[in-house]
Every structure is written in structure tokens, then in C-alpha cells.
Structure 1
């Protein structure tokens, strides 16, 4: 193929899969939501997260990251605001209250699809480590002798595919754990576990 270096792509795929499958902020969020609201509903968070990852990856390559680094206030607002909101949700879940907690009677949730997508999106774009990772990872896999646009398109497609696969794995794990624990005596335990994880993600996002 004259639009992508297959040798570089063959190394890129396993490299990024290993990085993606390693527990991180977004994967922990998928596990927590899979446990609290199930795989189907967690998909909406994943859609937002994937849009954020695609935006970060593209922006890192074309240089927007340089601008963002010059204006760290943008990062601070996203980091602290997003982290505080996730921490608040975690407290609500830990107390078996709020929109994401499993209802003790009906096992239902009431958080909107839009809010789920926004949580995933903000978590993806507000993590400076994510920006740093893409700035460091992508350039070595770009062949300067081939068209940039075609290479970037293929690499970002593979990134999103691998990221989505890993999110599914984590969310499915959370759903499985929920099924193992889901009875009237363990519902509060599920909420406490998922809530504690959510609070941890909030702190991680704000201060990581």
C-alpha cells in the first residue's frame, strides 16, 4: 500500500493494544459504569470517550497540543471541574443515591444518554497524560515519505477500534461482577464499589 507503512502498522497495533488494555482512567470508568448501569448503557459513555480520544489524537499530531500547553488554564478548568463532578457522582453512588446508583427496588438508572456521553468525552480530553501519550506515541509510527492524511486516518481508526475493544472488555467485566453480586443484600455493596471507583477517577482526573 502506498498510503500506509504496513511494517510500522504491524508494530503499532500490538503496542497500542497493550497501552489501551492497561488499567487507566477511561478503562476504570468503563468498569465502574458497567457495574452500576450495565454494558448497554455504558456504550453511550464509550461513544463520548471515543470522540474525545479521536480529537486528542488528531489535535496532538497537528499541533493543537502546543497551544493547549501554552494556556494551561483550559486544562485546569476541565480537570478540576470534571474531576469534581465525577467525585460527586461517586459519593451519590456510594450512598445508593443519585442517577447512576442501582435502585434498590427497580434496578434502574435515570441519567441521560447525553450526560453519559459528556462524561466520557470530558474524561478523555481533560487528561494531560492522554495528550502527552499521543504526542509521544504517534510520531514514531508516521512515515514522512507517505501522505500524512492517509496515515493519520488509518492510525486513528485503529486507535478507536482498539480503544473500543478494551472499553468493552472492562465494561463487560463490570457487568459480570454486578450479576455475581446482584441480589437484595448486595445491591448497596455494588453501589459502594462502583462509587468508590468513580470517586477515585475524579481525584485521578483532577490531580493526576
Structure 2
């Protein structure tokens, strides 16, 4: 169908990649601990939307452009690194209070903001784009006349399975964190951890080289 082969292997490989802990998982857990299930779900859906951006890019050739054009790769790399570093430093310097107090004063991160942080973290990472470009074509016949549709279908399957896993992670983390979210010390630690994660990702993106 559409030139797709070994679909079972693609699904299995995708599931193994999705359940492997990484920065996305850490971000979802952090937001779940900080804001509960809704915060973790917003982070998970944002990350998935960022992945969809790269799926579309792989399907229409944007990922190939990033691989062949050093200028396009450099622009996306530095924009992504700057965003991640700015967000991370902002979180590291913020002062946190117990969640109940913050909510009353309207200073808690909004779900909209959590969503967009997750989405932009993925969308502005050229490494994710190159991953999809390298991963998806392995399961589509080289002579298939429907490569674009095949890439979109495989990407949708990958993102759908990943979203289910991430929502499960968010639910588990939120359930385990109901009591600790009232502690200002724990909230500050979570925020600094997330800030440090963003700074780390920013430096890692800045060090990427086109291949």
C-alpha cells in the first residue's frame, strides 16, 4: 500500500523510540509535576505538533533542503538555539511559589504557553527534521509514486503512538505529584530543572553540524 513495506517493523521501531526517555519525556514530567495532568497533556500535545511539522517537512522536501543547504540549516539551528536558551534562562531566573498561591495570583504558566514551548522546542530543532528524513524513507519503496502520502501516513502513525505514550507519562507523573505541588521548594526545583533542560538543549542545538 502506497509503497510502504514492513509496516509492523516501523510501528515496533517507532514505539521503542517513543518509550526511550529523552528531553521530551523530561519536559512532560516536569510540567505534569508542576501543573498537573492538564499541564502535562498540553506539553505532550505541543511536542506532537512539533513532530508533525517535521513530518510535513520530510514529506514535501524541507528536511532534504536542510540537509543540502548549509544556510537553511544554520538559520534554523541558531533560531532554535536562541529560543531554547532564552526560555531556559528565563525559567532559571524566575521565582517560584507554591502552586496554590501562584494560581491565585495568575502567575502560573498558562496551558497555551506550555503547549507552544513544547511545539517550538521540536519544530526549531533541525536534528528532529533530519531524524524523520533518515527514518521514514527506510519503510517506503524507492520507486513508489506515492512517496509524499506514504511519508505523511507513516509520520501520522509515529506521532499518534508517541502522543498516546506521552499522555500516559503525563497522567502517571501528575498522579504521583498531587502532594508535592504545594511545596515552593519542590516547585522551584522543578522549574530550575526545566530551565536547565532548555539551556542544555539550546547548547546542543547550537553545536549541531549539517551532514
**TM-score, normalised with respect to structure 1:** 0.81
Match of 2:176 in 1: 177
CA shift for structure 1 position 173: 3.3
CA shift for structure 1 position 66: 3.8
CA–CA distance in 2 between the matches of 1:38 and 1:109? 16
CA shift for structure 1 position 180: 4.6
Please give the root-mean-square deviation of Cα atoms over the aligned residues, in Å: 2.5
Is this contact kept in 1: 2:99–2:181, CA < 8 A?
A: no
Secondary structure of the structure 1 residue equivalent to 2:96: coil
CA–CA distance in 2 between the matches of 1:90 and 1:176? 25
Match of 1:76 in 2: 78
Structure 2 residue corresponding to 1:89, chosen from 91, 102, 122: 91
Is this contact kept in 1: 2:30–2:194, CA < 8 A?
A: yes
Secondary structure of the structure 1 residue equivalent to 2:177: helix
CA–CA distance in 1 between the matches of 2:159 and 2:102? 37
Structure 1 residue corresponding to 2:196, chosen from 186, 197, 200: 200
Runs of 4+ residues deviating >6 angstroms: none
Is this contact kept in 2: 1:17–1:163, CA < 8 A?
A: yes
| 1:136 maps onto 2:160 in alignment | no
CA shift for structure 1 position 76: 0.6
Taking structure 1 as reference, are residues 193 and 177 closer, same or farther at Cα in structure 2, changes over 3 Å only?
farther
User: How many residues are treated as equivalent by the alignment?
Assistant: 198
CA–CA distance in 2 between the matches of 1:61 and 1:70? 20
Match of 1:14 in 2: 12
CA–CA distance in 2 between the matches of 1:191 and 1:201? 15
CA–CA distance in 1 between the matches of 2:193 and 2:130? 24
